[in-house]
A and B are shown apart, each in its own frame.
Chain A
C-alpha cells in the first residue's frame, strides 16, 4: 500500500535559522506521533506538509498529489484536515457557525449538505449539546474540540494535528486522546506533541525531531528498545548519566551508559526519547 505522505529532503530556513534540515519521511494509515523539544522544527514541518508554507528545497506528495503545482496544492488541500498549534476563532461565532464557516472554506456550498456535515463532525467530538453557544463562552477543552471538528469537515484523508493536547487538564486530555484515536481509524494522522504519553497511548509510529532534523523514525516499541540496558536506579544523582531525575520513591532514575553493577530498570518510551535527543536533553531532564 503506497504511503499517504512521502517527503524527501525538505529544507526550510527562516533568516539564519534552519527550521527544517533535509527532512525525509513516509506516513501511512493510523496515528504517527511527532516528538521533539521546543524549536525542534515540528510546527514548521506540519505547516509545510499542510501547505501553509512552502519549503525552500525538497518535495513531498500527499495521497499522490504534489503540492508543488497550483492544481496539486488544491488537490492536497481538498483532502487535508489541519488543527494549528493555537487555532484562532471568530469568538462571536457559535460553535456551529464557526465549523460551518470552515466548511464553506472547504468548498461545501450546498447549505443542507453542509449543515449535515457540520452536525456530523460536532457529534463526532461530542459537542452537539453546545453547538449554539458562542466560542468565547466555551472552555479551552471545548474550543480545542471545535477546532478538531473543523479539521474533520469533509472527511479528510490526511489529518495534521499540532500539539492538540497542550493546555488541557488531564481529564480533557484523555477525552481528546479518545477522539484522536477515533479520527485515526481509516485515515492518516500526524500528531505533534511534547508528551510521550500521547505517543504511547495513540501512535503506531513515532518520529523524533531535534534541531530541524529527524533523529528517529519507527514504532514506539523500537524507540523504547533504544533504552534497553541503559536505564538504571541510584540513590544519588549519577554524574555519568546523560540525564537523571529523582522519582517518587526518592531514588534517581538515570539514562545513559550505566556503571558496572548498576541496578537496571525497565525502559520506557520517555527513556528512549531522551536518549535519542542525547545532548539536547539537558534542559528537559535535568
Chain B
C-alpha cells in the first residue's frame, strides 16, 4: 500500500539511516510522517533494523505523531539549516508575525511612494529618516515584557536571556534590513545615496540594545529613537534648503559606523546584565500575540 495514494516510498538508504537513528530533519520528519501511513515501508524498516534500534524508531514515531506540524516560517528556517529548536524559538518572536511584517511593509511602501513623488533633495530624506527606526523598533519589540506574552516564563528559564535576544535580533534584523533593502531598490534614481539608512540603522539598533539593561526595553529604544529624530531636526535647521542632511553625508555615515561599532562592543560587555536586570514585569499586558 502506498502512502497518501502515491507510489513514492522512503528510499532504503534513508530507512537504514532512520533505523540507525542517524536521519536528520527535515528528512527525518518526512520519514516519520510517511511511516505513519505506509505499511510497506514499515515492513522494509523492520527487515533493515535491529530490534533495539527499531524500538527507538517506534518511540520516535510515537512522538512524531503527537508533534505539531511546524509552521511555514519554522519549516523554512529548518530547511535553510537552522536547528529545529532554534527555529521554534524564532517562530515565537512577536514581530516576525504576519501582522507586524504587513505593518512595516505598508509604512515602507508609503514612504517610498512619498519620497519618489516629492523629490526636492539629492537624497530621499523622509525614507532615510524612517528606515533606521524600523529595525530599532522591531528588535525592541521582539523581546521584553511589553509584547512577549511569555516573557515572565522566558526570563526564569535556563536559556540565557542574551542568547535568546541575539537569536531574535539576528532574525528581526535580517527581515527588517531585507525589507528596507527592497524599498531601496524601489528608489533607483537616488543611486547609492538611498542606502544611507543602513549604518544609522545598525547604530540605532546597537545603541538601543546596549542601553536596555540599564534603561529597560521600552525606555532605551524610545530614547535612542528620540535622539535620532532630534539629530535630524538639528541637521535640518543647520542645513541649507534642499541640501543633504549631515547624517547622510560621508562624514555622518562615518559617525554612524563608529557608533555602531562602539554600541556593539558595549552590548558585548553588558551581556550578562540581561539575565539580572531589573526590568519591570507589568501586569497590565497579558494578551496573546494572535
Contact = CB atoms under 8 A, between A and B. Distances in A.
A101 B289 contact: no
Nearest to A131: B66
Interface of A: 14, 47, 50-54, 70, 73-74, 77-78, 80, 82, 84-94, 96-97, 100-102, 104-107, 109, 111-112, 114-116, 118-119, 131-132, 135-136, 150
B59 A88 contact: no
Given A89-B288, A101-B89, A106-B158, A70 B153 contact: no
Most buried by A among B63, B157, B287: B157
A256 B130 CA distance: 66
B129 interface: no
A84 B149 CA distance: 11
A91 B289 contact: yes
Contact of A86 (B60, B64, B155, B283): B283
Given A102-B153, A115-B67, A52 B281 contact: yes
A106 B150 contact: no
A92 B275 contact: no
B59 A112 contact: yes
B4 interface: no
A14 B272 CA distance: 23
Contacts of A132: 68
Contacts of B63: 111-112, 115-116, 119
Contacts, number: 119
What size tier do the contact residues of chain B reach? Answer: 35 or more
A115 B276 CA distance: 30
Nearest to A73: B275
Given A96-B66, A96-B67, A132-B68, A84 B153 contact: yes
Contacts of A80: 156
A102 B286 contact: no
B275 A89 contact: no
Contacts of A101: 88-89, 92, 150
A188 B283 CA distance: 26
Most buried by B among A54, A84, A111: A111
B150 A51 contact: no
A38 to B, nearest CB: 11
Interface in B70-119: 83-85, 88-89, 92
Given A82-B153, A119-B63, A131-B66, A107 B290 contact: no
Contacts of B59: 112, 116
A77 B67 contact: no
B151 A88 contact: yes
Contact of B153 (A93, A94, A105, A135): A105
B6 interface: no
